[in-house]
Amino acid sequence: MVRDGLYQGKRTQIDPFAFDDAVSDVFPDMIRRSIPGYQSLVDITGLIAAKRMRPGARCYDLGCSHGATTASILKAVGDHRCEIIAIDSSAPMIAAAAANLVDQRISFKHADIRDIDYVDASFIAANFTLQFLPPEDRLPLLKKVRKGLRHDGVFLVSEKVDDDGEFAELHLDFKRENGYSELEISQKRAALENVMRIDSQDMILARLHDAGFTDCRIWFRCLNWISILAAS
Ligand SMILES: C[S@@+](CC[C@H](N)C(=O)[O-])C[C@H]1O[C@@H](n2cnc3c(N)ncnc32)[C@H](O)[C@@H]1O
């Protein structure tokens, strides 16, 4: 795994964060050192998916990056027949996912998750992806996702939440503990400023409700990072 040192050097200008080649090259290290509980959340996402996916079931992985969530689902379903549609709008990310995961049951799509027609899904996962959509595009996407789920299907969505100061401060401690310097933290924060726009937990739950998800449960939380299982 290549160590993330992208923001180590002092930059004279901070460009908006993008899922480009430079980020893709260090992404597995970056996400593990940045999101508390990431590995547990991804591992358990697979277990949750496997419970919902009968043989032949279809699932979607929205914003699959290098394919960690898809890999976890495949591990949990074992040899069962299924179809996983893994989508990412970043060319280097989807290329890395396709190189990492060679399995006939996966279709990789280099596409925007807003442009996909979701059909007959037993499980849809969006691990840390919706926070990169413009806020006004989130409800329309959630409505499409809900319509694309089977009646017994479930949507799993994980996001950073805007929370009180204590959890945000502890999250910074987590990053420092993982070797990020103050300069790296502040430069990355500046890069993400208008790219990753986070909501409060209440706002996320209200939006899911507005999209028709009547049964929403927070199944995972680590500091200011949460994951919700949404069904209707
Ligand atoms: C934080 S990463 C997701 C991590 C990944 N789900 C995992 O668990 O390892 C966000 C991903 O969403 C992708 N993304 C952002 N906006 C997107 C969009 N509108 N359509 C498709 N993919 C998108 C990015 O390219 C990036 O790979």
Looking at the 3D structure of the chain, how many domains does it have? 1
Q: Judge if the beta carbon of residue 174 lies within 6 A of ligand 1.
A: no
Note the pLDDT of residue 61.
Answer: 98
Distances in Å between the alpha carbon of 84 and those of 32, 64, 216? 23, 11, 23
Residue of 122, 147, 134, 152 lying closest to 61 (CA atoms)? 122
Residue 102: pLDDT over 80: yes
Q: pTM of this prediction? A: 0.98
Alpha helix ranges (H) inside the chain? 21-34, 38-52, 68-77, 91-100, 135-148, 165-177, 182-192, 201-210
Beta partners for residue 149, in sequence order: 121
Is 2 a member of any domain?
no
Is 65 a member of any domain?
yes
Range 126-153 average pLDDT: 98
Q: Judge if the beta carbon of residue 68 lies within 6 A of ligand 1.
A: yes
Is 177 a member of any domain?
no
Range 55-64 average pLDDT: 97
Please tell me the distance between residue 80's alpha carbon and the centre of ligand 1 in angstroms: 26
Is 13 a member of any domain?
no
Q: Judge if the beta carbon of residue 88 lies within 6 A of ligand 1.
A: yes
Residue of 228, 53, 196 lying closest to 126 (CA atoms)? 228
pLDDT band at residue 62 using 50, 70 and 90 as cut-offs: very high
pLDDT band at residue 39 using 50, 70 and 90 as cut-offs: very high
Is 15 a member of any domain?
no
Please tell me the distance between residue 19's alpha carbon and the centre of ligand 1 in angstroms: 8
Q: Judge if the beta carbon of residue 46 lies within 6 A of ligand 1.
A: no
Q: Judge if the beta carbon of residue 90 lies within 6 A of ligand 1.
A: yes
Ligand 1, atom nearest to 68 Cα: 9
Is 27 a member of any domain?
no
Please tell me the distance between residue 64's alpha carbon and the centre of ligand 1 in angstroms: 6
Note the pLDDT of residue 161.
Answer: 97
DSSP string, 86-145: EEES-HHHHHHHHHH---TTEEEEES-GGG----SEEEEEEES-GGGS-HHHHHHHHHHH
Residue 38: pLDDT over 90: yes
Residue 23: pLDDT over 90: yes
Note the pLDDT of residue 163.
Answer: 84
pLDDT band at residue 164 using 50, 70 and 90 as cut-offs: confident
Helices 21-34 and 38-52 pack at an angle, to 10 degrees, of: 90
How remote is the C-alpha of 9 from its chain's centroid?
27
Q: Judge if the beta carbon of residue 197 lies within 6 A of ligand 1.
A: no
Is 30 a member of any domain?
no
Q: What is the CATH number of the domain that holds 68?
A: 3.40.50.150
User: Mean pLDDT score of the chain, rounded to an integer?
Assistant: 97
Q: Judge if the beta carbon of residue 227 lies within 6 A of ligand 1.
A: no
Which residue segment(s) compose the domain that 78 sits in? Answer: 38-162+196-231
